[in-house]
Structure 1
Amino acid sequence: MKEGLVRRIQCFKFSEERSAHVTHLLYIHRKRPSLIVQEIDIINPSEHSLDLDFKQKNQISNNDLKQLDQRDIQFDSNNDIYSMITNQLSIRQHNFIIYVIITNKIISNCHVKPGSPEKQIILTVVKFSSVISENSLLNKTYSQEIQEQLQKQAKYDMSDALSISSIRLLKEHIDTWSLIWQSGFTMSRSLAPSTMNGDVINRTIYYILCSTPAPLYELNINETKRNELNQSLFQIDQCYESHST
């Protein structure tokens, strides 16, 4: 968690002669808040080829969710096909949020040669509107403008992410995440019995940080705003005074 990454390692045994190791790396990019990156590495240590099927889960049905648009798109930087979905989500007090998701469609079949690795990188961009009242949504022109604006922003963010390598994306994220600890804020390694241990606190910290905007580190912030945010960090009345971790 010090690097802002979640890793999962899985081992699969298909038969006495066939097995695979799968490493899954996931992170919400700290410098590009709309971007989610997944890297899946498959290693075939056996002497036999593996043919694997992948399934990309469809969106879970929800009574509060309404799909407004869905289409396949492509970007100039590669030949991959991306799915762009625009949804409308009902929230409290008759208000709504419109959001757009762009993600690349994964390869459904994967052939892994003996002793060879296979890698898939899945990029997902999510852009969402501010809260919209029910009355405002009745204006179809206004609603359509919001959809088109979000779709344009999502396409731009995805195109920008595709313009650099996955290695650079990862380094950019880790370097930005490491700036959090310069203030002296830390994660604990304590696993002492009968206490609020570091693993629980660390997971909470990680979830909050991933779910909270960090405008100071974002790419598109102007210098004036950046200076204002830097100055706000030195306000003593905002210091943390709870559990020591």
Structure 2
Amino acid sequence: MWLQQRLKGFPGLLSSSWARRVLAALGFLLVLYWYLSSGSLSRLGWRSGQPGDAAAVCLQVETKPWKSLSDGGDAWVLPAAGGERTAVKPMVTGNGHAVLDIGSNQLWVTPAAASGPAHATDFPPLLRIKPVTAYAQAQATAVLFREGVVRTVRCIQAVQAQSPRDCLSIREDFLCHRSRPHLYLQRIHISNPSQKVAAFEIFSLTASVGTKFSTSLEKVDDRNFLLYSGRLSVLEGKIVLLVIATKKLVSRVQVRPKSEFADTVLSVVYVSEAIESIKQEETFNKLRESAKKEMVEVMQMGIEDLFQEHQEMWSDLFISGVEMHKRMDSHTPSSETINLTLYYILSSTPAPLLDPLIGSEDQEKMEASLNYVDHCFSGHATMHAENLWPENLSSISQILQLLELWKLTLQKRGCKALVAAGAHGLMQGMVLSFGGLQFTENHLQFQSDPHVLHNSYALRGIHYNKDLINLAVLLDQEEKPFLHVSVKLQDKPVRLYACEAGCLNEPVELTSEVKGHTFPVMVTQPLTPLLYISTDLTHLQDLRHTLHVKAILAHKEHMAKQDPGLPFLFWFSVASLITLFHLFLFKLIYNEYCGPGAKPLFRSKEATTV
């Protein structure tokens, strides 16, 4: 009835002019809210003529493939210029001999025959590309882990009223070649989909270094390149000399409508060891000759061959790695932090196994150390060591400090041979340390703390006798952890066996099946490794008799004993309070109806008729 009366009065309400205005205003606000929240404004913003709208839309299209790479842990994307970000991480590419800081356009070099860290130079290694006319620009940068490349994309809105489809785009790839330690490249690709000619200026900032570097134009056959010579003061009384040869490009480029421009800047850097000043001229001559020779050699090679060669080497390094599937606490590093840390360490470390000058004997020793490293990694896992997996790194100096900390940690935990093997060894050591994997004389054991297995992660590419083992800690539907092991055979088939904690069950032979093998997480008392892997079946069968465990529990039972819940006193107090409350309530009811002066429960007929 109440609703019908209100509905009958509704037409009268609309007859009021102020009511109609209020309803119209509310409707307008609702439409505006839907329009803003649905993203329509951002998709069609370039029509409004706001600065950068067309460039921003163009950039979204150009960088769309990056999302799948980022989600898969194969790339880290720096937000578009102007976007909000909590911290700016260094965008670097390197090979241990040279490191390029893309953001600050700075070259870092390692002196020849030196085991110390790299040193910053005043030489700007990268060319700058500037459009002659630009109304607005948008830029994004990504680090591609498996390719060892830093890629930047710029979209340029030439005039105010321009569609995103007509925006100019500049894509640049920066890399320090992995197997050619003196070579770094800058690949440039400019696309002009518009109907007008686009002009660009290409220039270097080498003029800013003044007299610190001398410059000369070199001509070999029909090839021209620039040769820069400079010096660093690293120790008192000693200097380090460096010579950079770089391809000479034109200073201005015009890209015709509906066409593209592509070129690659090749640069070679040679660095001396720390020398006395009296040897300066002789050393400079040797460095210049070496730089000229390699520069002519790489200029004769195909650019795509150089890129493919580099990417194959980087891909080989990233066969090993760590993947974080599910992070349940803030102390565990994220996938982004893990991949960036691995990338930074590899970019700052030489790879002796890829050096063409390495002897066959030294190469065999390094490869043998990768396949089986006795007593590495000893001690507790580094998963929760925040100083080894830092979230915030802001400079190359901090990266170099982190590299030294990782080297020291691995050396003190029985991994000296891996550190000596360079980038390949460091990657192996970091993977072993993350999960607490340790090689012993006869087996590989997984000795992670059972209390951290609520996190789900995978360790891939663990070298074991020339085979690759993948070990993952996964969670079932009830959030209970279990172990998954798979093997990728690399050489002659070698039988591998595994058993869970205590080795009470018969060891299982590991095969290269795609589905792999699963093992329950069992916890022994006293605590022993959660998994054993060995090529010796007899060794694992004998192991059960040498562990001398008192008990073996499932992971869930172990955690229940470790965390039995709230103490008895707490539950006794709660039960007492509940009992006292009910006694008090009973007393109130009793006094109300049964105590002195209580009212009768039923009224008599006489009292009713009066």
* Same structural fold, with TM-score higher than 0.5 when normalized by the shorter chain: yes
Q: Distance in 2 between matches of 1:189 and 1:106?
A: 46
1:24 equivalent in structure 2? 172
State the secondary structure of the residue aligned to 2:297. Answer: helix
**Pair 1:97-2:233 in alignment:** no
Residue 53 of structure 1 corresponds to 201
How far the C-alpha of 1:56 sits from its partner, in A, is 1.4
Q: Which residue of 2 aligns with 1:173?
A: 310
- Rounded to whole Å, the distance in 2 between the matches of 1:190 and 1:157 is 47
Aligned residue for 2:218? 73
Deviation at 1:156, TM superposition (A): 1.9
Does 2:405 correspond to 1:235? no
Per-residue deviation at 1:192? 8.3
* Change beyond 3 A, Cα 1:94–1:20: same
Could you tell me how far apart the structure 1 residues matched to 2:175 and 2:325 are? 21
Q: Any conservation in 2 of the 1:56–1:106 contact (CA below 8 Å)?
A: no
Asked if the contact 1:191–1:199 (Cα under 8 Å) also holds between the matched residues in 2, the reply is: no
SS in 2 for 1:154: helix
Counterpart pick for 1:10 among 154, 169, 175: 154
> Which residue number corresponds to residue 321 of structure 2?
185
Alignment CA distance shift 1:48-1:185 (3 Å):
same
Deviation for aligned residue 1:204? 3.1
Q: Which has the larger radius of gyration?
A: 2
- Over residues 182-233 of structure 1, what are the superposed CA-to-partner deviations in whole Å (9 max), with x where a residue is unaligned? 4x33466889894532323323322322222112112333323322322232
In the other structure, the counterpart of 2:270 is 127
- Mapping of residues 26-45 of structure 1, within 5 Å: 26-45=174-193
Question: Contact 2:322 / 2:338 at 8 angstroms: preserved in 1?
Answer: no
Q: Is the 8 A contact 1:188 1:199 kept in 2?
A: no
Q: Is the 8 A contact 2:228 2:245 kept in 1?
A: yes
SS in 2 for 1:55: strand
CA contact under 8 A between 2:152 and 2:171: conserved in structure 1?
Answer: yes
Q: Kindly, what percent of the aligned residue pairs are identical?
A: 27
Query: 1:9 Cα deviation (Å)?
Result: 1.0
Contact 1:98 1:147 in 2 (8 A): yes
Relative CO higher for 1 or 2, CA cutoff 8 Å, sep ≥ 6? 1
Amino acid at match of 1:165: G
Cα distance in 1 for residues equivalent to 2:242 and 2:360: 28
Q: Which structure 2 segments of 5+ residues have no match? A: 1-144, 377-414, 416-428, 436-458, 460-610
Whether the aligned pair in 2 keeps the contact of 1:188 and 1:202 (CA below 8 Å) is: no
Worse-superposed segment, 38-47 or 84-93: 84-93
- The 1:126/1:191 distance shift into structure 2, 3 A limit, reads farther
Moved more, 192-201 or 2-11: 192-201
Instruction: Describe the shift of the 1:219–1:186 C-alpha distance in structure 2 as closer, same or farther (beyond 3 A).
Output: farther
Relative distance call for 1:43 and 1:222 in structure 2 (3 A) is same
The structure with the largest helix share of the pair is 2
Q: After the TM superposition, which of the residue ranges 19-28 and 186-195 deviates more from structure 2?
A: 186-195
Which range moved further: 219-228 or 96-105?
219-228
Distance 1:119 1:207, change over 3 A: same
**1:192/1:33 Cα in 2 relative to 1: closer, same or farther (>3 Å)?**
farther
Greater Cα offset, 195-204 or 18-27: 195-204
Q: Which moved more, 1:204-213 or 1:166-175?
A: 204-213
User: What CA distance in whole angstroms lies between the structure 2 residues aligned with 1:61 and 1:33?
Assistant: 24
CA contact (8 A) 1:22 1:43 kept: yes
Partner of 1:82: 225
Equivalent position to 1:108, from 248, 251, 267? 251
What displacement does 1:14 show?
1.6
| 8 Å CA contact 1:73, 1:82 repeated in 2 | yes
- Provide closer, same or farther for how the CA distance between residues 157 and 178 of structure 1 changes in structure 2, counting only shifts above 3 A: same
Aligned residue identity for 1:117: E
Segments of structure 1 that go 5 or more residues without pairing to the other structure are none
Greater shift, 53-62 or 83-92, is seen at: 53-62
Aligned length: 233
Contact residue 322 and residue 339 of structure 2 kept, 8 A? no
Which one-letter code corresponds to 2:373 in the other structure? Q
Find the aligned partners of 2:309 and 2:225 in 1 and give their Cα distance. 24
Check whether the contact 2:188–2:263 (CA below 8 A) recurs between aligned residues.
Answer: yes
TM-score (norm 2): 0.36
CA distance in 2, matches of 1:192, 1:113: 54
Query: Which whole-Å CA distance do the structure 2 matches of 1:122 and 1:31 have between them?
Result: 18
Once the two structures are superposed, residues 120-141 of structure 1 have per-residue CA deviations (whole angstroms, 9 ceiling, x without a partner) of 2101111101122xxx21x2xx
With over 3 angstroms needed to count, the CA separation of the structure-2 counterparts of 1:167 and 1:188, relative to structure 1, is farther
| 1:212 equivalent in alignment to 2:349 | yes
Partner of 2:468: none
Distance in 2 of aligned mates of 1:125 and 1:29? 10
Identify if the C-alpha distance between structure 1 residues 175 and 57 changes in structure 2 by more than 3 Å, giving closer, same or farther: same
When the two chains are superposed, the root-mean-square deviation of aligned CA atoms in Å is 2.6
> Is the 1:26–1:38 Cα contact (8 Å) retained in structure 2?
yes
Offset at 1:34? 0.7
